[in-house]
Structure 1
Amino acid sequence: MMIETLKEIFNRDLKKLKFEIESYQNEDKIWYIEKEIANSAGNLCLHLIGNLNTYIGAQIGNTNYIRNRELEFSNKNVPKSALIIQIEETIQTINNSLNLMNDEDLKKEHSFSVFESKTSKGFLLTHLTTHLAYHLGQINYHRRLLDDKTGNG
């Protein structure tokens, strides 16, 4: 039951991420930063994709995903269409990976140290849902604040 709940939350929020990226009226604004806004929506999107493909895809689903965290924040001007494809692929990876688990697996220790000490798989997956929601909120705010501005910024 809890696995299905986690899948539902990840799917809901990744679909919302896709909606947010698709909703930028000006594609260039996906990569825009201003004053105290240190990360663009595009970089946050890449970061979420990398994060989920690492901790769920590679570590739970045994995909061959190799993360380049630095590139998540330094890569710029990835086309909106490419971001959308990566989000859709991440949704599929999440579903495939979580389909390999059952609720008893959530109590087991995650084999990789993500935090200061090892945690259960359930704790890690719960953390990943809140991490996704946190950055999704930033992206939503970024889009509404910066994409609506007229002119060259």
Structure 2
Amino acid sequence: MKTSLIKIFDREIDRLTSEIEQYQEETSLWKVTENISNSAGTLCLHLIGNLNHFIGKHLGNTDYVRQRDLEFSTRNVPKATLLAEITKVKEIVLTALMNFPEEKLQEKYPIEKNGEIPSYELMLLHLLWHLSYHVGQINYHRRILDS
């Protein structure tokens, strides 16, 4: 299971990088419309914060302090900065997963999620789904608003 998690997190973070790189107009990263309330830049910052917090801090024992409100209020971060932060979080996530003992996957994750304490395995699967979901949103955002 651990090998599969590493492989899929690696792939999905690479997809995030690819989507951000493909924006032709840097300003399009921050576009919203009446029906699209979160820009690609906002979703990217949210994913970086989410992965740093739930994997970096709680599996990799980093000293990351999440400021979730800033993930949704910060604007106009340069594309190059977003890409650099994705690169950093990818290294943090993959290192944390590689160093995490596989036998601990069935143990309780240290944070409640949706009213229950999940196993590390379930939490990591949830985080993968969350990452992939938002990467898909970024893909649609790019194809609709970056023209």
What range is the shorter-chain TM-score in? over 0.9
Quote how far apart the aligned CAs of 1:94 are.
0.5
What TM-score comes out, normalization by structure 2 length? 0.98
Gaps of 5+ in 1: 149-153
Deviations 1:14-53 (A, max 9, x none): 1110111010000000000011101000000000000010
Gaps of 5+ in 2: none
Partner residue of 1:117?
116
Deviations 1:69-99 (A, max 9, x none): 0000100000000000000001100011112
Equivalent AA in structure 2 for residue 144 of structure 1? R
Report the secondary structure of 1:99's partner residue: helix
Identity %: 46
User: Greater CA deviation, 126-135 or 105-114?
Assistant: 105-114
Partner residue of 1:71?
70
**Length, aligned pairs only:** 147
Partner residue of 1:151?
none
Equivalent AA in structure 2 for residue 25 of structure 1? Q
Equivalent AA in structure 1 for residue 118 of structure 2? T
Quote how far apart the aligned CAs of 1:103 are.
2.2
Quote how far apart the aligned CAs of 1:115 are.
2.6
Q: CA RMSD in A?
A: 0.7
Partner residue of 1:51?
50
- Whole-Å separation in 1 of the counterparts to 2:19 and 2:111: 31
